[in-house]
Structure 1
Amino acid sequence: MTEIDILIETPDWDENALAALAQAAFDATLSEMSLDPGLFAVSLLACDDERIAALNADFRGRPTPTNVLSWPSQERAAPTPGAMPDLPAPGPQGPPEELGDIALAYETCAREATEAGNSFEHHLGHLLVHGLLHLLGFDHETDPDAELMEGLETRILARLGVPDPY
């Protein structure tokens, strides 16, 4: 099981439900990448739109709320568009390797789920998978990168019983 450190900053979040969903999403994602979930750790911030807008302004120069932000512990991006990133290769058994941090904004996640006609849990599961893939070096900056990442998301979400979000 992936080690997950969760910080709840707003009472809208249900910590137990978030923890269970994050565990399932992270374990499925790492397993899809042929990585042992027990060798990795992720920090998760469950915040509100105001907090994520401040983080988005600080780190991306965009002072608006967004659904998810990710900060990988190291750069793993692929050298060419559409190629697999440099996935972590865990060393000897020791403390779990920290993959990075993910932040989620409750209001934006809830609004997007409603607008798309999805359940909050399915949308949140998608965003957790999406955020972890960013920590693993995936992105969607080019069409080939987006195609690779979205294909992985669809496969991982299917493992979790979540319909294709695309």
Structure 2
Amino acid sequence: MTTEQQLRELQRASDYVLRREGFKKIHAEISFVGPGEIRRLNRQYRKKDAITDVLSFREFDAHIPFPNDAVIGEIVLCRSYIRSQASEFGVAYAQELLRMTIHGTLHLLDYDHETKRDAAIMLPLQEKYIEHFL
């Protein structure tokens, strides 16, 4: 699958989550970066000097009305890190890429997993959305 095809499939998944969460006329931009760039972004915006799988950058507050066809934010994915993570978890790369896209989309909507309580809400929801595509 080409990068362009991958992006279309991931965009479809992100749009599905946004629609199911009640956001009809917004979308997220999705991009791929290498390990060096995601580490730089993680250090700059989260003060964590480490490579990571996905970062989400919101343009609008998820609790205010959005203009029609607005971009809620950007989901930045590191494919090489996600590929190694998929291998570590024993899942297909495409499935882990989908999981991280949905994960990033939920972060754009203010879901989080920093506390046990928040994780108990976000992570099952993430898996529910993934199941739709499997």
Do Structure 1 and Structure 2 share a fold, with TM-score over 0.5?
yes
User: Counterpart of 2:106?
Assistant: 133
Q: Is the 8 A contact 1:28 1:159 kept in 2?
A: no
Alignment match, 1:79: none
Q: Secondary structure at the match of 1:131?
A: helix
Among candidates 24, 28, 34, match of residue 42 of structure 1: 28
> Partner residue of 1:121?
94
Q: For each residue in 1:20-61, what CA deviation from the matched residue of structure 2 results, as whole angstroms up to 9, or x when unmatched?
A: 32122112212321332xx11322220110110111111111
Partner of 1:4: none
CA spacing shift, 1:27–1:41, aligned 2, 3 Å: closer
Bigger Rg, which one? 1
Percent of residue pairs bearing the same amino acid type: 25
> Quick check: 2:15–2:27 contact (8 Å CA) kept in 1?
no
Who is 2:4 aligned against? 16
Deviating above 3 A after TM superposition, structure 1's stretches of 4 or more consecutive aligned residues are 88-91
Uncovered stretches (5+) of structure 1, i.e. residues with no partner = 1-12, 77-85, 162-166
* Shift, 1:90, TM fit: 4.2
**SS in structure 2 at match of 1:100:** strand
Verify: 1:151 aligned to 2:124, yes or no.
yes
Q: Unaligned regions of 5+ residues in structure 2, if any?
A: none
1 CA distance for matches of 2:109 and 2:2? Answer: 26
- 1:66 to partner: Cα distance: 0.2
